[in-house]
Structure 1
Amino acid sequence: MRTRQSLIDVVRGALIGIVEIVPGVSGGTVALIVGLYETLIESAGHVVRGVVKLLADLPRGRGAAGGLQELRSARWSVLVPVGIGMVTAVVLGARAIAPLLEEHPVPTRAFFAGLIIVSLVVPIRMVGGRWSVVEVGTAGVAAVVAFLLTSLPPSRVDDPSLWIVVGAAAVAICALVLPGLSGSFLLLAMGLYAPTLDAVNDRDLAYLGAFMVGAILGLGSFVEVLRYLLRTHWRLTLAAMTGVMVGALRALWPWQDDDGALLGASGSLAPVVVAFLVGAALVGALLLLERVLTTSEVEPAG
């Protein structure tokens, strides 16, 4: 049973990792879809607090008990297989997704647009009940901000310094835990998307090490803020996430020029419609699978 669940978690992690490579698609959104979001946020919080306590207590002679207790509270049985799936998907997907976006950008964006639109049901369902005026307004403001962010023109920084890599990674990694906002798109806007893909493909350990440091710093700073918001303002935070997901759809409009400006529909619509429907169907299947798995976990034995 545990082995089967671990394999499922590897696949879940792979789904999160593969979409993190695609500008405009959020790994946090997929984490919501596959039922991992709350577990990852809570476990990440325990890991961050554990590391901070170890770094603060050990030099002062207070021992490691507090930090180790926090680390033990994280669900490593989930984090490890999810991490394996994510890393594997990023390494393999970097070689497959980038050429696909370059050679077939219109149907590829349509596919991911279908994926995101159907996945909106997840945060809406998590909010639950009738939305208040404040929640609708919050979602609207978040949508506008996300739309403006995804309207930023892409750039390219050749041979970035490692300090720039650290800073960019710290910002981009926040999108991993914020549904709707794409870390790859933020890297694209900062000019580091192509260099990061090149570093993954070329196994540039210095670049990847700097990126990892930035990711740890950014995640450590942001995850506690997000956990606080979810704990104290659950509905409002999820409403804002929904708005971000809606606004970020701007990045997935199929017809765009090289600078990301929106264009009118052109060419044959059939491949675009098919790709959109396939993406929507995939999310529907994932939501159904997640419900089946959740139901089987709570059913009493025998």
Structure 2
Amino acid sequence: MAMGAADVVPGVSGGTIAFISGIYDRLLAAVAACTPNKLLWLARGRVRETWQAIDGTFLCILLAGIFTSIASLARLISYLLEQHPQLIWSFFFGLIVVSVLLVGRQIPRWSAWSVLALLLGTVFAYLITVAVPLQLPVTGPVIFLGAAIAICAMILPGISGSFILLLLGLYASVLQAVKNFDVGLLAIFILGCVAGLLSFSRLLSWLLSHARSVTLAFLTGLLIGSLNKVWPWKQTLSWRENSQGQLEPLVQSNVWPAQFQQLTGEPAYWQGGLALMLLAVVLVLTLEYWGRQAER
């Protein structure tokens, strides 16, 4: 459910939640095991063997939590992002800061290649956060392709699938489809997600098996670079009109809380923001501690 809640927010990745909760490798392995030949196994009656090969119980419970969270929290998170943006972004900022520490700590061995991968990941994620959003037409093929790209981002720590949809100009349409339960649009979106997930997860799983230090360093860089997007206090430099005729921020710059209050005339809520950052850090460290205790 935490992964689903994170995926609803543009700028926060469900992959980050999977990593800090210790299920990332298992998730990639389970998804990568969902190959076309498993359909042949099912056709031959090898149901039990197929279920075990794809870690079916794990996947079903995880997907049930994600979809339950998206369906139930889409409206709430939309409301909170609109009414209390500084507080919500503060919580996610703290979440990603502590994730940098936890993911970086898992790197087995540092080398020149690992440092280079860390820098490349940081620059890549930062460039995505400052990219200017497109406004693609909401058609079946575009939704399918956008879903395939976004799902790849969703399983990468630090890159938000929701933010990729935002860059493509599809986020509002997909969120509206979830709210209104538009079966046709959601079906196309889910098919695109499946196609992207099956193709990308195998590559990422292979990289973690054969070049773990470099891959983890790159993923850590993605988390660092994404901090630019989730900084809570921003000044909007320009606006754009979305497909519903509503104004949305186009270009923003990060400012300190005191500057935010002077520039916008709105309260910065920096005390509450700092408290939520610390709360996120404590929650993640507690979750990580429970995970280590369970392993022992």
- What is the DSSP-based 3-state SS (H/G/I as helix, E as strand, rest coil) of the residue aligned with 2:130? coil
Residue 149 of structure 2 corresponds to 171
Q: Note if 1:53 corresponds to 2:37.
A: yes
Residue 7 of structure 1 corresponds to none
- What is the DSSP-based 3-state SS (H/G/I as helix, E as strand, rest coil) of the residue aligned with 1:262? strand
Selected match of 1:76 from 49, 53, 56: 56
Structure 1 residues 116 and 263: alpha-carbon distance in aligned structure 2, compared to 1, 3 A threshold: closer
- What is the DSSP-based 3-state SS (H/G/I as helix, E as strand, rest coil) of the residue aligned with 1:284? helix
Higher deviation after alignment, 245-254 or 119-128: 119-128
Q: Note if 1:287 corresponds to 2:288.
A: yes
CA distance in 2 between counterparts of 1:142 and 1:70 reads 36
- With normalisation by structure 1, the TM-score equals 0.84
1:155 is displaced (CA, Å) by: 4.8
User: Is there any run of 5+ residues in structure 2 with no aligned partner, and where?
Assistant: 237-248, 262-267
Structure 1 residues 65 and 228: alpha-carbon distance in aligned structure 2, compared to 1, 3 A threshold: farther
- With normalisation by structure 2, the TM-score equals 0.86
1:74 corresponds to which letter in structure 2? I
2:99 corresponds to which letter in structure 1? S
1:110 is displaced (CA, Å) by: 1.3
- Contact kept, 8 Å, 2:150 with 2:164, in 1: the verdict is yes
CA distance in 1 between counterparts of 2:59 and 2:151 reads 16
Residue 116 of structure 2 corresponds to 137
CA distance in 1 between counterparts of 2:158 and 2:255 reads 24
Higher deviation after alignment, 112-121 or 250-259: 250-259
User: Is there any run of 5+ residues in structure 1 with no aligned partner, and where?
Assistant: 1-13, 296-302
Residue 253 of structure 2 corresponds to 262
1:246 corresponds to which letter in structure 2? I
- Contact kept, 8 Å, 2:25 with 2:205, in 1: the verdict is no
More helix by share: 1
Selected match of 1:151 from 130, 145, 163: 130
More strand by share: 2
- What is the DSSP-based 3-state SS (H/G/I as helix, E as strand, rest coil) of the residue aligned with 2:132? coil
- Contact kept, 8 Å, 1:251 with 1:260, in 2: the verdict is no
Matched pairs, number: 273
Q: Once the two structures are aligned, what percentage of the paired residues are identical?
A: 33
Selected match of 2:185 from 200, 207, 212: 207
Structure 1 residues 163 and 111: alpha-carbon distance in aligned structure 2, compared to 1, 3 A threshold: same
Kindly report the root-mean-square deviation, in angstroms, between the aligned alpha carbons of the 2 structures. 2.1
Structure 1 residues 235 and 103: alpha-carbon distance in aligned structure 2, compared to 1, 3 A threshold: same
Residue 300 of structure 1 corresponds to none
- Contact kept, 8 Å, 1:53 with 1:66, in 2: the verdict is no
